[in-house]
Amino acid sequence: KVGLLGSGASSTDVTGRFAMRGLMPGAYQLALQDWKGGRAVPSESTEVRVDDRDVDGVRIELPATGGLRGMVRDEQGRPLTRVRVQLSAGGLMPGASAADDGTFEFPALAAGSYRVTAWRGSEMLQAQEEGGSTVEVTVGTMTRLDLVFAAANGVIRGVVRDEDGGALADAFVTARREAEGASAGAAMRERWMSSGDRPRLSEVDGQFTLSGLMPGRYTLLAQRRGGGEATHEHVAVGETVTLTIAAVGRIAGRVVLPGGGVPEEFTVSVRDPVSGFRRSDSNFRSDGTWGFAELPAGNYELEVSAAEGFQKRSVALAAG
Q: Side-chain half-sphere of 156: how many Cα atoms within 13 Å?
A: 30
Q: Which phi and psi angles does 247 have, rounded to 5°? A: -65, 145
Q: What's the confidence (pLDDT) of residue 264?
A: 96
Q: What is the pLDDT at residue 80? A: 86
pLDDT given for residue 151 in this prediction: 80
Burial class (CB in 10 A: 0-12, 13-18, 19+), 178: buried
Per residue in 6-28, pLDDT tens?
567 888 888 889 888 888 888 88
Q: What share of the chain is helix, strand, coil (3-state, %, to 5)?
A: 0, 50, 50
The predicted pLDDT at position 95 comes to 87
The model's pTM = 0.64
Query: Can you say whether the dihedral through the CA atoms of 291, 167, 318, 182 is positive or negative?
Result: negative
Side chain identity at residue 85, one-letter code:
V
Which residues have CB under 8 Å from 17's CB, separation 6+? none
Instruction: Give me the residues of the chain with pLDDT under 70, please.
Output: 1-7, 35-38, 127-132, 180-197
Instruction: Give residue 139's pLDDT.
Output: 94
